[in-house]
Amino acid sequence: MDNLSTKTFNNDFVSTFDGDQTGNLQPRQTPGVLYSKAIPTPVHRPQLLAWSDELAEEMGIAQPDQQDINILGGNLVTPTMYPYAACYAGHQFGNWAGQLGDGRAISLGEWPAANGKTYELQLKGAGPTPYSRRGDGRAVLRSSIREYLMSEAMYHLGIPTTRALGLVATGDQVMRDMFYDGRAAYEQGAIVMRVAPSFLRFGNFEMLAARQEIAQLKKLTDWTIDRFYPHLSGENKIINWFKEVVERTATMIIGWLRVGFVHGVMNTDNMSILGLTIDYGPYSFLDDYDPNFTPNTTDLPGRRYAFGRQHTIAYWNLSCLASAIAPLFENTDELVNALEDFKDIYQAKYFAIMADKIGLDELKEEDKKLADDMEKSLSLIKPDMTIFYQLLIDLPLIENKEELANWFNPSFYRAPDKESLEFLFVTIQAYQERMKDNQITAEAAKTKMRANNPRFILRNYLLHQAIQEMEKGQNGLFLKLQEAMKAPYSNIHDEFFALRPDWANDQPGSSTLSCSS
């Protein structure tokens, strides 16, 4: 096991591409470069709050000593590190935003692990960079706890994601206006060290295309394929790479839908080129099932990034990536076809995961109506998604609507109206009739359902409570959640298996969040 402070880091990205080496942190446009050197700004008193033992073991990283904590807080840069902020662009809420870049994230370098993998280590909240624009480059404890816990929770749910290695308090105060409504206040500062094979985004490619830096675009594309898609080669490798990005993106979105996750801000600069969930901000799990739910107040009233629209936004974002790499093709017909394949890929994955969620041996063509009706039933009744599917696992034979209402009552936030209950009853009858023809045993069906329907999710109100405690120096709930998220498909943490409490319905930081979250 190696310490952060003694390990020899790789710096393949900065040694391969042109960058601004001046170290000037003044916000500015940086044409012609893919990154800018950015030394973290020291903080007053870094204090370790959380450490991911599982990820550290995978990477071969020892428990942090004081030198390592100084690295986590941005107070120490070792000789083999080359801190930088990446330059990228993006479409935000459907509009072209031009140059964006890492405004509060600084990559330290690449960690070569004994398992043969390489991990990019990045500090989020370590101070200003040339891409901070009007920001201070800092992060608050509130948002840092949310990123640390949720990225690890998503990993344990089996969703492709970036991860979090460590969380430190900085000992400094940071001014934030949570809802951009003129009520700015000081909050405790914090920094997350997050980890991924790469933090490259769709926006990295969009930036080069917008500036017509086509040679750099080709170089970045080839480097990305050679490094992260090494199984692709030959004259068709770029189109085959794009097809795989389409596939991975669809897989990620299906994972979100399976567990009821809403990202909240699916801008193209928040889309990983590796198909990872990235940039945890105003996210939420669904409590009551609502396809139109968005936790992000910045996304109102249009609800562009609502739960039920995430697959359409993924397609739209992939179209932006396709447009960015189009200059690399003499004929874009195959690129367009690969983009259009997303719809069929998504549909196939959607129905496959619905079969898993409701315990079918397979989802036949005639079962698609059943899957759609199940989703429609949830949309009408708006039960707690997590609790509803848990109750479905052990569903007894239902013979009348009263039995149905009693069985699913623990998942209801409000009593269903007569028409909605009737629709659910008809759907459940069709479902139980279909289960009679299942080609797997009832126990095998339950096993499949338990493996695909989480029993524990990191609900926003729980995060809100943990944050409030942490701001007072208490970490009891934080530690409980950190353990519970490691076993989301078991019942060993059923103290959290409950409906969202009434007090959380309109609680800022719980029901309502913003891009500042």
| Tens-digit pLDDT profile for residues 84-123 | 999 999 999 999 999 999 999 999 999 999 899 999 999 9
Query: Is position 368 within any domain?
Result: no
Tell me, letter by letter, the H, E, C secondary structure of 261-279. EECCCCCHHHCECCCCECC
Domain boundary among 135, 164, 199: 199
Q: Are the C-beta atoms of residues 298 and 282 closer than 8 Å to each other?
A: yes
SS3 77: coil
Q: Is residue 417 part of a domain?
A: yes
Residue 365 lies in a domain: no
Q: How many structural domains are present in the chain?
A: 4
Q: Are residues 190 and 254 in the same domain?
A: no
Q: Print the domain residue range for 383.
A: 375-439
pLDDT at 178 over 80: no
**Domain finish residue from 146, 170, 199:** 199
Q: What's the rounded Cα separation, in Å, for the pair 115 and 375? A: 42
In a domain, 360, yes or no: no
Q: Residues 192, 241: one domain? A: no
Task: Please state the separation of Cα 335 from the chain's center in Å.
Answer: 26
182: pLDDT confidence band, cut at 50, 70 and 90?
confident
Report if residue 253 sits inside a domain.
Answer: yes
Residues 397 and 318 in one domain: no
Shared domain for 171 and 124, answered yes or no, is: yes
Q: What's the length of the chain?
A: 517
Q: How far apart are alpha carbons 271 and 90 in whole angstroms?
A: 10
pLDDT score of 181: 74
Cα gap 308→263, rounded to integer Å: 11
Average confidence (pLDDT) over 296-302? 91
| pLDDT for 180 beyond 80 | no
DSSP string, 398-432: --SHHHHHHHHGGG-SSPPPHHHHHHHHHHHHHHH
- pLDDT band of 509, cuts 50, 70, 90: confident
421 and 334 share one domain: no
* Domain shared by 432 and 466, yes or no: no
Please tell me the distance from the alpha carbon of residue 15 to that of residue 21, in angstroms, as a whole number. 11
Any domain includes 219? yes
Q: What is the pLDDT of residue 184?
A: 86
Residue 516 above 70 pLDDT?
no
Does residue 86 share a domain with residue 160?
Answer: yes
Residues 480 and 499 in one domain: yes
Model pLDDT for residues 240-254, shown as the tens digit of each residue: 999 999 999 999 999
Cα 56 to Cα 212: distance, rounded to the nearest angstrom: 40
Residue identified by tokens 């959290």 is: 496
CA nearest neighbour of 131 among 95, 175, 86: 86
**Secondary structure letter of residue 417 according to DSSP:** P
Q: Model confidence at 508, in pLDDT bands (50, 70, 90)?
A: confident
Query: Over the stretch 334-392, which tens digit does the pLDDT of each residue have?
Result: 999 999 999 999 999 999 999 999 999 999 999 999 999 999 999 999 999 999 999 99
What is the pLDDT averaged over residues 302-309? 96
Hey, is 202 helix, strand or coil?
helix
Average pLDDT for 71-77: 98
Query: At residue 25, does pLDDT exceed 80?
Result: yes
**Structural domain includes residue 367:** no
Q: Which of the listed residues 325, 355, 385 is the one where a domain comes to its end?
A: 355
Residue 1 lies in a domain: no
Catalytic residue (one of 269, 279, 288, 299): 269
**Percent above pLDDT 70 for the chain:** 100
Looking at the structure, tell me whether residues 342 and 487 fall in a common domain: no
Would residue 91 be called left, alpha or beta, if left means φ above 0 and alpha means ψ between -120 and 50 degrees?
beta
512 confidence band (pLDDT: 50, 70, 90): confident
**Between these two residues, 299 and 496, which has the higher pLDDT value?**
496
pLDDT tens for each residue of 401-418: 999 999 999 999 999 999
CA nearest neighbour of 468 among 496, 502, 509, 503: 509
Q: Residues near 171 by Cβ (< 8 Å), separated by ≥ 6?
A: 43, 44, 45, 46, 47, 189
**What pLDDT was estimated at residue 510?**
78
Phi and psi at 478, nearest 5°, equal -55, -45
If asked whether residues 43 and 147 sit together in one domain, one would say yes
Given a cut of 60, is residue 196 above it in pLDDT?
yes
Mean pLDDT for the chain?
Answer: 96
pLDDT above 60 (res 234): yes
* Cα distance from N-terminal residue to C-terminal residue, the chain: 35
For residues 16 and 153, membership in a common domain is answered with yes
269 catalytic, yes or no? yes
Cis peptide before 501 (omega within 30 of 0): no
User: What are residue 506's phi and psi, to 5 degrees?
Assistant: -125, 25
- Residue 102's nearest CA partner among 166, 56, 36, 42 is 36
- Please answer whether residues 42 and 138 qualify as being in contact, where contact means their C-beta atoms are separated by less than 8 angstroms: no
116 plus 264 within the same structural domain? no
Report whether pLDDT(322) > 90: yes
pLDDT computed for residue 304 by the predictor: 96
pTM of the entire predicted model:
0.96
